[in-house]
Each structure stands twice: as C-alpha cells, then as structure tokens.
Structure 1
C-alpha cells in the first residue's frame, strides 16, 4: 500500500500541533513539578475529587488516562505511599480495586489547583482569543471522537 504523504499544508499543521502539545505540556508539567506533583498525579487527584465519594475504579481511571491498568496500579502505589489516595477492594470486581482520594490528597489538590490554573492560563488560555479557543475545542472534539471525522 502506498502511503498518503502529507501535503506541505498538512505537514505544517501537523508540526505546529506537535509544537503546541510539547510547549504546553512541558510548561504545565514544569510548573506542577515545582509544587511537587506530576501531571499524572494531578490528573488522578482532580478526577477523584470530581467523582461521587471521591472514588473511582482503577479500570475507569486507567481508561480516562489511556493507560494500562498495570501502569496506573504502579503509579497509584507511589501516590498511596505519599498518602494522596488509598485503595479499597472493588465490591463489583473481585480482581479490581477502588482508588479513593484521601483528605491529604484533597488538601494537596486544593493547594495545587490555583498554581495549576495559573500555569494553564500562562502557557495556553491567555495566549488565545475566544475565537481561537472555540475553534480549538471544535477541532479537539473532531480528532478525539472515535472513528475521526
């Protein structure tokens, strides 16, 4: 099968997208690291904070992050050692577990959230117009939806 090579316009768009992702992720990751969290730490903490009972199954959280269950399990172990979350047996799945946000985890998230939102604003939101943000949201929905366009 012959590859469908990118046109010059497609190539420029692809490279611009990659630069955008790298620049924003590197900036926000650096800012989170300065307050003692990784991006995955923040993702887990913020997701759990939004869930009923501050609880999610390991399977649901791994799917949300697009991680394998074993990768998230290892990460959760490190977060558990820091007192950010705890694991409980999942009554609906004898082989699974629940991830539960601890009080320390919630307090850590609450302390980190203002700095994180400032970082997101600095590296992303404040650099764009309302029209840019609306267009980007539409593009992201198209790209992220299963099956593409």
Structure 2
C-alpha cells in the first residue's frame, strides 16, 4: 500500500472549469507573445529590449539606475547586464556613472535608441490592439488588467515598479 505525502493531501487541484481557464490563459499568452516578438523583431528588438527602452523613455532624463531597470522589467541583474550590453553595442543606450551619487550605474536612452523605439512602438501598439484589445470588450480588457495587477501584487508585494 502506498502512502500519500503531506503535499499530495494539501494540493488544491484545479476543477474542470479552472483547468480550461488556465490552459486558455497559457495558450493565449504564448500565442500573443509570439505575435509581439515577430513584430518587434522587424525593428531589430526583442521584447525585453523593447521594454527596457520604454521604461527609459518614460523616466526623467531618459535614464534609470541599472537596479531600477532590473526591477521595472522583472529581470535578474546579470540578464539585464547582457541585454543592456547588446543595446549599448547597437548605440541604443549608454551606461554612465549615476548622476546622483556616482557609485551606481545608470542606463540612458540615446537619441538613436529613442528613434528606434518610436518606430517599434507603432508596430507594437497596433499588435497589442489587434491581438489583445480588439478580441474583447474594453470592460473585459480593463478587468484583465485589474486581475493581473492582483497576481503581480501577490507575487511581488513590495513592488515599487507599478506600471
């Protein structure tokens, strides 16, 4: 006779409707990510690179400390360093000593990076509208945003990088 572990007894399995909802979420998010990836690749950017450029463009002076960028785009510092190195090699960003305390490193969006971002943003927003907003009502989309905010808050309750 096999024994049931404590973890198996405590597992709250998904019911049929929850399982269907979960699988729909996973499939749709992967399909959407693939569409957005292809659109950004036409501008020579990956999705993480695009998100970094967006965050920099929205920041005062178009610059953020590397640690702030990592938190904002949910990236490890080592992964961010590699991604920023590629963007820097392409002339889209520049790293410099922090203007506040000179100890930290800031990532700054260059004029070339802003120009690339402007072009990519048109494609990206059109795709987000076509593949995410248009298939649902505005109310459904806003409800999705509220639900995902709750998920993010539960996963990262100390989040200082609200969208």
TM-score, normalised via structure 2 length: 0.84
**Greater gyration radius:** 2
**Residue ranges of structure 1 left out of the alignment (5+ in a row):** none
**Residue ranges of structure 2 left out of the alignment (5+ in a row):** 1-6, 157-163
In structure 2, what is the Cα distance between the partners aligned to 1:147 and 1:24? 22
Partner of 1:61: 69
Partner of 1:98: 106
Over residues 53-85 of structure 1, what are the superposed CA-to-partner deviations in whole Å (9 max), with x where a residue is unaligned? 000011011111111111101110110000000
Q: What secondary structure sits across from 2:54 in the alignment? A: helix
Q: State the aligned residue count.
A: 147
- The alpha carbon displacement at 1:48 in A equals 0.4
Q: What secondary structure sits across from 1:4 in the alignment? A: coil
RMSD, aligned CA: 1.6
In structure 2, what is the Cα distance between the partners aligned to 1:99 and 1:147? 26
Q: 1:93 to 1:4 in 2, by over 3 A?
A: farther
TM-score, normalised via structure 1 length: 0.91
**Bigger proportion of residues as strand:** 1
Candidates 128, 132, 149, aligned match of 1:124:
132
Runs (4+) off by over 6 Å: none
